[in-house]
Amino acid sequence: MDDTTNRALHALDLAPGASLDDVKKSYRELALIWHPDKVPDRVKDRATAKFTEINEAYQWLIRNPENLRTSSAAGSSTGSFYQRQTPPRYRSSAQSSHTRAENSRTGASRSGASGRTGASGSGASGSGASWTDASSRTGAGSSTDPVVQRVRQAARGIRTDTRAGLYIYPDIDPDRAANFIVALQLSHRFSGVAATVNDLLVFYDIDGSGEEGMAITRSNHLVNNNTGTLYDISDLLDVQLKEGFFFWSEIVVRRRGSRKFEPAGYAENGPGRALVSILGNLIDDA
């Protein structure tokens, strides 16, 4: 394995044998941790330098994916295997158990997948980009649920992008969404927000596995289990996107009767703009 790839993997807390999905997941987690806007002023320079290093490493690896295959082969030949170093967590809520999610997601996926009327495989894989205008999707208008129709109207012109991890009904990825549902059910804070995959109308997969994400639900909630935030959309008066460094931006919302904006979570710039647009439309229609 070449030195540049080795240094890039090390910068992302990864070892030889890591996959492209591992790279994306680790990058998202570390970018949240080292975002210069989220650290005290006294360490802002250090965070900016680390954030730049993370981004350069990420860009190198996604532009040279063949180097990951080489590192994987090298790791196999020496008998080693991929082990991800767990970085400190950004969220303050209880971390979900991957094992429990894996054991439970099959049932959750089965309970929700049947409702994806008119959805094809375009939104079922995060391995590549899939662009679909959810508002014009064939068969997407079969639901008579006024809540579903309202969210789909708010998302008109915004497309599912599997590479960015943004899914819009009816193109919700059943496996990733099932992981998210299980993770929500592990916290009493999110009780009653969403019970099945069908309860997610807009879903942003933050960590690449579905276990951590931001969603607009059928119960009219904005939920983010990465930051432990939960809002009833009918209680919101405004939403804004605070553009950050490189790829990440912060979504902030303001409740009715309040002058202060509160953080709802981070998203990459593209999905962040899409989520803010959808939320803004829902708030305006309330």
Q: Is 210 left (phi over 0), alpha (psi -120 to 50) or beta?
A: left
Kindly tell me the sign of the dihedral angle through the C-alpha atoms of 170, 174, 177, 183. positive
- Which stretches of the chain drop beneath a pLDDT of 50? 72-142
For 225-239, the pLDDT digits (tens) are 988 999 999 999 999
- DSSP 8-state assignment for residue 192: T
For 67-117, the pLDDT digits (tens) are 887 654 444 433 332 333 333 333 333 333 343 444 444 444 444 433 333
Which class for 20: exposed (0-12), middle (13-18), buried (19 or more C-beta within 10 A)? middle
- DSSP 8-state assignment for residue 244: -
Could you count the other beta carbons within 10 Å of the beta carbon of residue 139? 12
pLDDT of residue 24: 85
Query: 3-77 in CATH: which number?
Result: 1.10.287.110
Ramachandran angles phi, psi of 92, nearest 5°: -100, -10
Domain residue limits, the chain: 3-77, 98-285
Selection from 161, 184, 156, 185 nearest residue 173 by Cα:
161
Residue bearing tokens 């049947």 = 114
pLDDT of residue 70: 66
Q: What is the pTM of this model?
A: 0.59
